[in-house]
Structure 1
Amino acid sequence: MKKRAIKILSHVIVLSALALFSCSKTETAKPVESGQPGSTKPVTPPPGDTFPEQTPGITVRKIDTKGGNISNYLLYIPDTYNSEKTYKWPVVIFLHGLGEMGSDINMLRNSGLAEVVNGKPFVMIAPQCLSGWWNPQYLDMVYKEVLASYHVDPSRVYLTGLSMGGFGTWDWSSAHPEQFAAIIPICGGGDVNRMPALKNMPAWVFHSADDPIVNVENSRVLVKALKALGSPVLYTEYPTGGHDAWTRTYANADVYTWLLKQHK
């Protein structure tokens, strides 16, 4: 509890300072064609997967593309990733908050989704923002590398984040809605004028009514705009909890059941 209190306090301090300045499906391989009886026509096998095996659990990876304010990410690989050769895994991209910004990637291990991801049936990517703010341009570099490097399903890429990462979730998904099957923004906010881009996006939004750092109206106004557009958005507002709306959210099994049902 003391660690969590310190973590939440760090979000409070940094967000307050900024405010002063700025306000499972299995894929079947295509059958191999066989020649007619007695035919000497050679049979060409279908191309196989070329994705290398990965170390199960959480490891640290560097992105190949240089530049921007992201250089590392945490990678979580499920235990059966290497043995299920034909299965394309769903992937969840997790964006941390201000308290984890910097160059110590291991800080992310005890943050939000990364803290509870062990045993989950998906690949997790948790990039670290070195400085500034989440930038969709640099996040796109991570996205492209993930799809090229891991045996994941492009139709089941999900995005979630807390605090600064909640803002990043709204911002990135509204800039490139075609990249994601569903989003879960937690105690964040965004530009209400960009909500038409997300009117068909499955979204489940979380916030605490008594959040002293990111006012709950930030989520309410976006949810209201989406509902007016006919969006299927879901909204859970905790009556209490302060700025930490993520601990109980990422501990809720129903959240993952809903998330993993979504497809592009």
Structure 2
Amino acid sequence: MSEPSIHTSADELVETEASVLRLGVKLLTFAASDGGTLPYCQYTAGDDLPGDYALLVFLHGAGSVGTDNWKPVRIPGPPLKRYLARHGEKAVVLFPQCAEGCKWVDVPWESSSHSLPDEPSTHMRRLMELFESKLKELPINRSRIYAGGISMGGYGAWDLVSRYPTTFAGILAICGGADTGQAPNLARLPAYIIHGDDDPAVPVCRARDIASALKQVGNTQVVYRELPNAGHNAWTPSFADETALQWLFSQRRNRD
């Protein structure tokens, strides 16, 4: 049986700040220790449900950079909201925003490989501070912390989980790239990896290589979907049904 569609319909398009606000997100700004700021959106689902919140950090691609912090919600916001409501999930989703001219990870996207930078980028460092502040501020279920990202945000999601190798319960990485040398540290991380086989922006080998590297170190929780005849916007078919989101939110981090 196919999964129910979660395509964004015409009346749910989020191309303006007003339309994003209608989703119920809060537009916020985090003050970092370096004196800079990180704009972000926060969406909370299931306030009336018992228990602690799952936490998802979802990172946008290059098309959503700036200071108008509603933009990171445009693509993942509607399918995430619908999924969480349909399945009665209690969750907080953070959508941080990278500034114009900056990256979550300072590496060339056209490269076939990269090494995890010794120091996180400015915006990744600010995101890490935001992330840690939310863990202190909110009642978060520590076995249900997730990372996700598309394109530039896919790189960012891999960078984030690599800097917290024992924290995350799962990653959803769409058309991004990772340091395959980090695979031994991520041997217990469930990973759902999606990439178009005809991606002109980020080589498909980036997804193939990290999927293979994880499997080689004994990670048995890797799902790899290579989309035939698909270009860079692999997020469109990825959010066409609930498969990827259902997988992500079903993961639990074993603390033993």
Taking structure 1 as the reference length, the TM-score comes to: 0.72
User: Does the 8 Å CA contact 1:57/1:118 hold for their aligned counterparts?
Assistant: no
Matching residue of 2:32: 65
Matching residue of 1:32: none
Report the residue type matching 2:92 in the other structure: V
CA distance in 1, matches of 2:37, 2:209: 30
Aligned-pair identity in percent equals: 33
Report the residue type matching 2:43 in the other structure: Y
**Alignment map for 1:132-151 (pairs within 5 Å):** 132-134=102-104, 135=121, 136-151=124-139
Matching residue of 2:171: 183
CA distance in 1, matches of 2:235, 2:35: 27
**Alignment map for 1:85-96 (pairs within 5 Å):** 86-96=50-60
CA distance in 2, matches of 1:98, 1:67: 23
Match of 2:93 among 124, 134, 141: 124
CA-CA distance at 1:116 after TM superposition: 2.4
Report the residue type matching 2:80 in the other structure: V
Q: Structure 1: which 5+ runs fail to align?
A: 2-55
User: Does the 8 Å CA contact 1:70/1:127 hold for their aligned counterparts?
Assistant: no
CA distance in 2, matches of 1:164, 1:253: 22
Matching residue of 1:240: 229
Report the residue type matching 1:223 in the other structure: A
Q: 1:68 to 1:92 in 2, by over 3 A?
A: farther
CA-CA distance at 1:70 after TM superposition: 5.0
Matching residue of 1:76: 43
Matching residue of 1:227: 215
User: Does the 8 Å CA contact 1:70/1:130 hold for their aligned counterparts?
Assistant: no
Does residue 1:164 correspond to 2:152, yes or no?
Answer: yes
Q: 1:248 to 1:64 in 2, by over 3 A?
A: same
Q: 1:198 to 1:100 in 2, by over 3 A?
A: same
Structure having greater relative contact order (Cα 8 Å, sep ≥ 6): 2
Q: Structure 2: which 5+ runs fail to align?
A: 1-7, 9-22, 105-120
Paired residue total: 207
SS of residue paired to 2:251: coil
CA distance in 1, matches of 2:236, 2:141: 27
Report the residue type matching 1:58 in the other structure: V
CA distance in 1, matches of 2:152, 2:140: 26
User: Does the 8 Å CA contact 1:207/1:219 hold for their aligned counterparts?
Assistant: yes
SS of residue paired to 2:38: strand
CA-CA distance at 1:201 after TM superposition: 0.5
Does residue 1:260 correspond to 2:249, yes or no?
Answer: yes
User: Does the 8 Å CA contact 2:38/2:126 hold for their aligned counterparts?
Assistant: no
CA-CA distance at 1:239 after TM superposition: 0.3
CA-CA distance at 1:66 after TM superposition: 4.3
CA distance in 2, matches of 1:95, 1:156: 17
SS of residue paired to 1:118: helix
Does residue 1:101 correspond to 2:65, yes or no?
Answer: yes
CA-CA distance at 1:148 after TM superposition: 2.3
Matching residue of 1:38: none
CA-CA distance at 1:102 after TM superposition: 1.3
Q: Please tell me the root mean square deviation across aligned C-alpha atoms, in Å.
A: 2.1
CA-CA distance at 1:99 after TM superposition: 1.0
